[in-house]
Amino acid sequence: MKRRDAIKDLSLLPLAGSVILPKKSVPETRSAEIAASKEIYQAIGVEPIINCRGTFTIIGGSIERPEVRAAMDAAAQVFVQYDELALGAGKRLAELTGAEWGLVSAGCAAGMKHVTVACVTGGNPEKLIRIPDLSGFEKTEVIVPDYSRNVYDHALRNVGVKLITVSSIEELSNAISSRTAMIYLMAGEPSMSGPMSLEVISKIAKQKKIPVMVDAAAEDLTIPNVHLKMGADVVVYSGGKALCGPQCAGLVLGRKDLLMSAWQASAPHHGPGRDNKVGREETMGMVAAVEAWTKRDHAGEWKRWLSWLDVISKKVSGIESVKTTVVEPKQLSNRTPQLRISWDASKLNITGEEIAELFGRTKPRIALGGGSREGETFVSITTGQMQPGDEKVVSDRLFEVLSQKRAPVKSEMAAAGVSLKGHWDADIEFFSSTSKHKLIIEQDGNWLEGSHEGEFSVRDLQGTVEGNEFKIKSTDRQLGDSITFMFSGTVKDDVMTGSIYMGEYMTAKFTAKKYKFKSKREKIMIPSGPPLAT
């Protein structure tokens, strides 16, 4: 299909939730809606995915509830003044959740950023417009327990604050100073109990009048709120996860004074939060999601999820060596039943990782977890964002693949046909820039090891070579963050060419040439004492 035809076809497709259909049963109507929703993506060459993985942003988060879509559609039809909207939404969210105040942000990370700004500026716009240059500011530091350092604390660092990482309650107490703007915690087991729990930290923080913010992005919303009860000043949720609200919205609950300063730091106001715009549609959609949460039949949802796992489990249980286990997590984060299907890879001649890759790249596309642990291979199915009928597609596909007869996988590797031993100068081509890296490789038959020097760090590498084809992996680890480089390609005449798979950061190209030392070979004489002249 040509690009112009695809765009023209989009105008002819009904949008999800507004499909005009003849009177049919609910399942038939829902099937028609899903078909129309798939077509709108297929028209631009994108194949939809059955989500058995969970509320990952990279595959869309969650399916918005009908109440949310209806509220967003209604909100889009009229104009309002956004400060008045924020006040109305804040009051309503407080009524629904029991918190002092509520704020809708452009996602959980944006909410965290706005709260950080609020703690740094205190609502003073003269400070606001100078961020991220904090020169002359009193509050410039955020204290974070080491268990809370994670990839999402970029939202805090974007403000320009210095993160002070501590590993004990004594270190935390000693780190508090006049520069401390806030303490940040990620929700989870360490924050719920133990020597550095939220309860312990909040008591110290309140004595020093330092706000505590909790990132509870993927958690179920608790009413009354468990984190606020334990002493947090602010708790932040993702709208597009358990709440099944707008994917581009976040829910911030807590102290009204802080949340009003956070709103001041949010669009439509100018300053560092203008790039985190939340619309009237998302605002009302988020309010609708919280209202729906208070009325949802959570026990009934759990029962339905378990019934889907039962369908899948029964379908595959008769296959040789296959075992199934249902896991019902008790924690608040990502709280949804999961099915773990395990088997003997030496009998079925396929691994969980291979099935996850196969399902993710071929139709019908299914996102599920896969791995190997303690001599057992498995796939995992998470129910929270599965839709009615998905269980039949997934069970049939798993049965088909696990039942196939396969020849045993050859474990021996083809002999290495080239030597990669040595120093290599690599030119990496990113989307809009180039970078020079260095690889130092040792080789033992098929196996490679050594070091990979990037622009900012040196890390270990490991890999393999068969014939003239190689695969090399290294990971640049930073506090709370990491990037894995997976090189693959071929070698010819002391030149490597290929690509670098970087996970969520997509793919780069590279060329590397073996470095040839040109130093003169000569004996070195070491003097036996201090020099007699300089």
Residue 367: burial class (beta carbons within 10 Å; 0-12, 13-18, 19+): buried
CA 335 to chain CA centroid, nearest Å: 16
The tens digit of pLDDT for each residue in 96-146 reads 999 999 999 999 999 999 999 999 999 999 999 999 999 999 999 999 999
The number of CA neighbours under 13 Å toward the Cβ of 269 is 18
Model pTM? 0.90
Q: CB under 8 Å to 14, separation ≥6 — which residues?
A: 20, 36
Residues of the chain with CATH 3.40.640.10: 66-295
For residues 283-290, give the mean pLDDT.
Answer: 98
Average pLDDT score, the chain: 93
Secondary element (H or E) of residue 327: strand 323-327
CATH number belonging to the domain at 66-295, selected among 3.40.640.10, 1.10.150.170, 1.50.10.100, 1.20.1300.10 = 3.40.640.10
**Bigger pLDDT: 289 or 18?**
289
Question: What pLDDT is attached to residue 16?
Answer: 34
For residues 244-260, give the mean pLDDT.
Answer: 97
pLDDT band at 374 (very low <50, low <70, confident <90, very high): confident
Residue with tokens 């991220």: 132
CA 226 to chain CA centroid, nearest Å: 24
Question: What pLDDT is attached to residue 22?
Answer: 41
Residues of the chain with CATH 2.40.128.120: 422-514
Question: What pLDDT is attached to residue 27?
Answer: 60
Question: What pLDDT is attached to residue 28?
Answer: 66
- Among 207, 195, 99, 114, smallest CA distance to 155 is for 114
Question: What pLDDT is attached to residue 201?
Answer: 98
CATH number belonging to the domain at 298-403, selected among 3.90.1150.180, 3.30.70.260, 1.10.3720.10, 3.90.1330.10 = 3.90.1150.180
CA distance 126 to 148: 31
CA distance 230 to 185: 12
* CATH T-level topology, domain 422-514: Lipocalin (2.40.128)
Secondary element (H or E) of residue 253: strand 250-254
Question: What pLDDT is attached to residue 25?
Answer: 55
Residues of the chain with CATH 3.90.1150.180: 298-403
The tens digit of pLDDT for each residue in 62-106 reads 999 999 999 999 999 999 999 999 999 999 999 999 999 999 999
Burial of 40-58, coded b for 16+ CB within 10 Å and e otherwise, reads: beebeeeebbbbbbbbbbe
Which residue(s) pair with 214 in the sheet?
A: 185, 235
